[in-house]
Amino acid sequence: MERVLTLPQSPSAPLSIRAKALVFHDPASLQLLAQVERVACSDATALIIGETGTGKELVARHLHHCSGRHGPFVAVNCGAFSESLIDAELFGHESGAYTGATGARAGWFEAANGGTLFLDEIGDLPLALQVKLLRVLQERQVVRLGSRKAIPLDVRLVAATNIDLARAVEAQHFRADLYYRLSVATLVLPALRQRPGDILPLAQHFIHQYCQRQGRPDVPLSPAAATALVHYSWPGNIRELENVIHYALIVARGAQVELDDLRMSPLGQGAGAVGSGWIAADAGPHDARAGGADLATASTAADALQRLADAFRDLLDDGRPALYEAVEAALIRTAFAHAQSNQVQTARELGVTRNTVRTLLKRHGLIPQNGAGVVSGWPDTGRHEDRAAGWR
């Protein structure tokens, strides 16, 4: 069974998030969908766990839609703001509450009243604010900064994370009481490689979406391209698949998307992969070594680096285009995964600034291009853009 659900449009939503459809085909996704719909009927706080790009926000949006709550869906990325800023943004402030607070402003909780507040990257919420959040959830009221007046709330909270929150609790980075409160209903979103039945329907969905945008008929996938998509392991999940399809449609010259048009990272070429994109598009005799670089049998880091250098030299000898970009993609993916999707840690490990990390993550489809931190449900005051700058 396949389910394609079109989520309701919000008139105030930025163009890029209008008319989002959820594509579910694999049994693992359908099972999750049934669970989401059951959870939606209660008013329990929900915690969505999943790797980056697996669709946590879309699932949260679907949960809101199924809940029948009439208020707005307000989505916020907790990693995008400094501690002082997120305090005022979450809970609101009165005029003069802090230097620069010239007027009174409602926070996200108030904005989501009657609806759902989606807090993405909840693991990034500073400890002091975790205490405040817990209090708001327990008392169902919020007090703006600089005020004593409690404002009653009817907000359903949905949080999401791509880190192991239980481990964060053990490491005392996350409060245990808040963790238990949030995880009343836990929804685990499988990685794309764990739901292979979704890959081709999603690819076709994105082909349709992009072709429609360009006003041209859908371009089918060649059998070789379809096989490559299914065999790739998608470390960047659905966001990466979307970017691969988008790029393929830009470069495709023929009547269908060919294997050559797919550009995937060497990191996703797992065992059994048929190979694609810049690595194996026109595989020559030495390409298997070049693509795989046989790092698994390297005994030391220096040995592994030497084998990589040899592989790259072979590719350069071939005049392979976009080699630098592929290396850059592999580097940022590896470091980002190693740092458990934490940008500050990734920057530290690579020895570059956080801004550079953010630029690379966007370029290689590991975080959204527009970087919007707040999406639908927010009055269209232009503040989406304010927050976009801080996307984590």
d(CA 97, CA 145): 6
CB of 320 closer than 8 Å to CB of 283: no
Nearest distance, CB of residue 241 and ligand ATP, angstroms: 8
Q: Which stretch binds ligand ATP (CB under 6 A): 46-54, 65-73, 296-304, 354-362?
A: 46-54
Cα dihedral 102, 104, 108, 112 sign: negative
d(CA 299, CA 205): 43
Nearest distance, CB of residue 198 and ligand ATP, angstroms: 7
Distances (CA, A) of 80 to 16, 350, 380: 19, 20, 20
Is 67 or 161 the residue whose CB approaches ligand ATP more closely?
161
Is 4 or 128 the residue whose CB approaches ligand ATP more closely?
4
For the window 214-253, what string marks contact with ligand ATP as x by the rule CB under 6 A?
------------------------xx--x-----------
Q: Which of 161, 157, 166, 105 is nearest to 134 (CA)?
A: 157
Is 62 or 105 the residue whose CB approaches ligand ATP more closely?
62
d(CA 38, CA 66): 9
Nearest distance, CB of residue 29 and ligand ATP, angstroms: 7
Nearest distance, CB of residue 50 and ligand ATP, angstroms: 5
Query: Which of 13, 26, 39, 50 contacts ligand ATP by CB under 6 A?
Result: 50
For the window 6-35, what string marks contact with ligand ATP as x by the rule CB under 6 A?
--------------xxxxx-----------
Query: Which of 87, 89, 120, 258 contacts ligand ATP by CB under 6 A?
Result: 120
- Look up residue 326 and give its DSSP letter: H
The pairing of beta strand 73-77 with beta strand 46-49 = unpaired
Is 58 or 332 the residue whose CB approaches ligand ATP more closely?
58
- 56 counts as binding ligand ATP under rule CB under 6 A: yes
Is 174 or 291 the residue whose CB approaches ligand ATP more closely?
174
Write out the E strands in 127-230. 141-143, 150-152, 156-161, 185-188
Helix (H, G, I), strand (E, B) or coil at 28: helix
Nearest distance, CB of residue 76 and ligand ATP, angstroms: 11
Nearest distance, CB of residue 306 and ligand ATP, angstroms: 34
- 158 counts as binding ligand ATP under rule CB under 6 A: no
d(CA 181, CA 179): 5
Is 173 or 246 the residue whose CB approaches ligand ATP more closely?
246
- 162 counts as binding ligand ATP under rule CB under 6 A: yes
Distances (CA, A) of 351 to 160, 267, 331, 345, 355: 28, 21, 12, 10, 12
Query: Which of 13, 28, 58, 252 contacts ligand ATP by CB under 6 A?
Result: 58
Burial of 126 (C-beta count, 10 Å sphere; 0-12/13-18/19+):
middle
Q: At what angle do helices 237-251 and 223-231 cross, to 10 degrees?
A: 160
Is 259 or 361 the residue whose CB approaches ligand ATP more closely?
361
d(CA 142, CA 231): 49
d(CA 199, CA 18): 22
Is 2 or 177 the residue whose CB approaches ligand ATP more closely?
2
- Look up residue 52 and give its DSSP letter: T
Helix (H, G, I), strand (E, B) or coil at 152: strand
Query: Which of 39, 45, 54, 80 contacts ligand ATP by CB under 6 A?
Result: 54
For the window 329-368, what string marks contact with ligand ATP as x by the rule CB under 6 A?
--------------------------------------x-
- 57 counts as binding ligand ATP under rule CB under 6 A: yes
172-211 positions binding ligand ATP, by CB under 6 A: 202, 205
Binding site residues, ligand ATP, CB under 6 A: 20-24, 50, 52-58, 120, 162, 202, 205, 238-239, 242, 367
